[in-house]
Structure formats: C-alpha cells, structure tokens
Amino acid sequence: MPILIDFHALKDILGPPMYELEVSERLSQPGVAIGLAWTPLGGKIMFVEASRMDGEGQLTLTGQLGDVMKESAHLAISWLRSNAKKYHLTNAFGSFDLLDNTDIHLHFPAGAVTKDGPSAGVTIVTCLASLFSGRLVRSDVAMTGEITLRGLVLPVGGIKDKVLAAHRAGLKQIIIPQRNEKDLEEIPSNIRQDLSFVTASCLDEVLNAAFDGGFTVKTRPGLIDSKL
C-alpha cells in the first residue's frame, strides 16, 4: 500500500518547528533592519533594532558586541548626522543634529551570542535611517557590507553562506557590496534565480534599495536669479 504523508503526518514525524520565521512581524515598525552574519556554522540573518529617547546625546550599544562592530555603529551615526539635511532626517525636536537632546539605543538581539566584524555597517545605517525618517525598511530585504566615514561600501567575506541564510529565511532581495559581485558565482544557480541582488558601492544606493520607493534626497527649491 502506498504511504500517504500529509500535513498531520509530517508534524508527527518531524515534531514541532525548530525555527519560527518572524521577519514580517519584526519589521512592522521603523528602526529595524535585517543584516547577514557569518558564523563557523554557516550564515545567519541578524536583526538590528534602534530606538530614541530624550537625553544628552548618548549612544548605547547592547547585544555582546565586539570592538569592530562598535566602531561600525559610531561610523553609521556620524555619517547620518553629516547627511541629515540631505535626507531631511530630524530628531523628535525637529533638529537636524540627530543627537541634540536625544539618546540612541542600538540593540542586536540574541545577546548570549558574541557578535563582531565590520559587515553590519550598512545594516546599522539603514536601521537608523528608518528610525529618524519614520519609514519602514522592506521586510524582504537583507544586507551586508562594511562602511566608511565617507559613505562608501566595502567588500566583506562569507557572501555564499550569508546568501544561503537569507534564502532559508524567505527573503527575496539582498544588498551586497559591489566588489563582492564576483562571489555570487559560488552560489547554486537555482538559489540565485529565487533572489534579486543589488550591488552597492555607496550608502546612497543601499538606502534606495532598502526602502519602498527609494530613499530620495530632499532638495530645497533654488533661488531664482533676476536681472534688473
């Protein structure tokens, strides 16, 4: 007799789900973005969360972060502060100085796991841009890349494992550094076909890909010259 395996039989055989996908739920409010991390056991997705409150301009980092990741967080907030007028990002008091009377808390969940490395830079920038703009990051996007103070996106390692982790999580678009494009050849073709890749050389390109409708620059109307 043929053996029929339906949903109920599958649950009895495999047991309860080991992992619960919570991507859409976690990105239902501004100040959350998805990064990609490499571990000795393979790639994994990593949420970055940010909140702001009245304060004295302090930046708090939690989640067992190493020194390199802490530096990435400070780079991210410095780049956003220097480009706040360009993107019309303000704090709760309407000031372009994002830390004016404002404290920022960045949290990397799974606090029992030590996290380090430069590849979270683009994710931290996107998370903070979401927080100060009030816009949601796309829930189907994950990203990885190191940043510089001038807003360049530098290559990172572990691209294959990171892409596989994003695919397992059901994500559809992945932002990687432009100089990592060659690493996509290592990914199986059936997985590449399921995903859309954005190769970014600067943070402007990262933000445009991470938000629905892009992340446009706010320009002020120019002055009209008149001749008398």
Selected catalytic residue, list 72, 119, 130, 160: 119
Active site residue 119: yes
Is the CB of residue 177 less than 8 Å from the CB of residue 146? Answer: yes
Per annotation, catalytic residue among 44, 115, 160, 162: 162
CA gap 134, 151 in Å, rounded: 21
Q: At what angle do helices 203-210 and 121-133 cross, to 10 degrees?
A: 60
Cβ(209)–Cβ(201) below 8 Å: no
Label residue 205 left, alpha or beta by phi (over 0 means left) and psi (-120 to 50 means alpha): alpha
The neighbour count for residue 225, using CB atoms within 10 Å, is 5
Using CA atoms, how far apart are residues 83 and 168, in angstroms rounded to an integer? 35
DSSP lists the bridge partners of residue 53 as: 103
Spell out the residues 6+ positions from residue 149 whose beta carbon is closer than 8 angstroms to its own.
Answer: 75, 78, 79
Q: What is the DSSP letter of 179?
A: G
Q: Does the active-site annotation cover 86?
A: no
Instruction: Tell me how far apart the alpha carbons of residues 197 and 108 are, in angstroms, rounded to a whole number.
Output: 24
By annotation, the residues acting in catalysis are 119, 162
